[in-house]
Amino acid sequence: MKIITTDNYKDMSQLGAEILRDVIKGKPNATLGLATGSTVLGTYAQLCKMYSDGDISFADVKTVNLDEYVGLDGSNEQSYAYYMRTNLFNCVDIDMSNTHIPRGDALDLASECKRYDSLLASLPRDVQLLGLGSNGHIAFNEPGSPFDARTRVVRLEDSTVYDNSRLFTRVEDVPKMAITMGIADIMSAKQVLLLASGLNKAQAVKAMVHGQVCVNCPASILQRHPNVIVVLDKQAASLL
Ligand code: GLP
């Protein structure tokens, strides 16, 4: 695990974008595993800028997202599909048919999980971008998630519903269920790039980097991945 501590959110975001840019420049038809949440917003903004500056093209890039709330369709402003269009896809030259996000509005969620896992098998990820939950979750793999888990429907912890409620009008509006790639799916990416920012992530970062590899901190499994880069700001790194 390579740990890089930057001065602030802006520098973390810039470095995250540069790492992804290098993957795309090295392989213009790369498959990127993408994440949502506040942490990666700055990185997406930088990627949009790199595209508008003519530095990179997404024309042949393929993407697969980590997760989606159950019950929200892509037109819902709180859906991760909407987030991805707003914060990245609409700003670059990506072919939308090359972008993939679990369907939270699928009528048959079990089939949707199977479909997504087949898709992941056909699209090996060159890099998987990750944020980190304050409870150590990656994607929506909450503490206790088995390390061999594949794409499935999960119930969110109260702490995750609370953390994510800042983006909703009321905490009651936050969906309690999600479809998420499993930890085994995340571990199958060739490279993992995890970003974390802010004091509220410091404890989870410490457990991820120095704690026992244990299901209580799902991100700790990344200690066993051969190619992980963790980019932090000072606050997130403050307990290392
Ligand atoms: C969310 C998402 C994760 C994300 C994490 C951190 O619940 N499912 O994929 O990485 O929590 O979110 P944020 O960056 O907003 O702190």
Quick: pLDDT tens for 156-206: 999 999 988 988 888 998 999 999 999 999 999 999 999 999 999 999 999
Token pair 């571990």 is at which residue? 187
The rounded Cα 89 to chain-centroid distance in angstroms is 15
Taking the CA of residue 201 as reference, the ligand 1 atom at the shortest distance is 16
User: Which residue ranges have their beta carbon within 6 Å of ligand 1?
Assistant: 35-39, 66-67, 131-133, 139-140, 160, 164
Give percent of the chain above pLDDT 70. Answer: 100
pLDDT digits (tens, 9 = 90+) for 10-22: 999 999 999 999 9
Residue 94's contacts (CB-CB under 8 Å, 6 or more residues apart) are 58, 59, 61, 63, 88
How high does pLDDT run on average in the chain?
97
Centre of ligand 1 to C-alpha 36, Å, is 6
Which positions are annotated as active-site residues? 67, 135, 137, 142
d(CA 214, CA 196): 20
> If you take atom 13 of ligand 1, which residue's CA is the nearest one?
37
Residue type, 212: Q
Centre of ligand 1 to C-alpha 35, Å, is 8
The dihedral region occupied by 159, where left means phi > 0, alpha psi between -120 and 50, and beta the remainder, is alpha
Tallying the residues shown for the chain, one arrives at 240
Taking the CA of residue 67 as reference, the ligand 1 atom at the shortest distance is 8
Residue 197 per-residue DSSP state? -
Q: Would you say the pTM of this structure is higher than 0.85? A: yes
Q: Residue 57 half-sphere exposure, CB side, CA atoms within 13 Å?
A: 5
